[in-house]
Amino acid sequence: MKTLILPLLFSALFFAPSASDASQDSCCTDSLKTTKASLMVATELEEEAAPDLEAPFWFQEKVYIHIYDQNDQPLVDGAFTSKELKENKKLRDLLRKSTRFLSLDTHHYYMLNEE
């Protein structure tokens, strides 16, 4: 009888934790799968909501454009509609020569590049 008890105790001590580890692995794997799936869905939603990076502005009503020269003096400081921006050649030329350094909501700040 003693010869049977020792192997049973030995197997219970060493093989039982590995069985519980397997169940924990599947549990952790399942939770990782659901976390990964939810992250993928969140990423897809963010990509759909992200603005087109090729378009310089997102027009709601008006955008506020602030262009500064190298001495931090404002060259342009105003609100423009989409139509006004398309028609104002001088403003478009200044925007082409400038680098955007900050955008907050509908306010876009530019620094005129040195010529």
- The reported pLDDT for the residue numbered 89 is 93
End-to-end CA distance of the chain: 97
- The reported pLDDT for the residue numbered 17 is 53
Q: How confident is the model at residue 47 (pLDDT cuts 50, 70, 90)?
A: very low
Boundaries of every domain in the chain: 1-50, 63-112
Beta partners for residue 89, in sequence order? none
The pLDDT tens digits of the residues spanning 6-21 come to 676 666 666 655 544 4
- The reported pLDDT for the residue numbered 16 is 57
Q: Dig out the tokens for 98 from the structure.
A: 């400038």
Residues 53-62, mean pLDDT to the nearest whole number: 59
In 3D, which of 109, 115, 104, 106 has the Cα closest to residue 72? 109
Q: Considering the entire predicted model, what is its pTM? A: 0.48
* Cβ neighbourhood burial of 98 (10 Å; 0-12, 13-18, 19+): buried
Say how far apart CA 108 and CA 85 lie, in whole Å.
13
The pLDDT tens digits of the residues spanning 63-81 come to 999 999 999 999 999 999 8
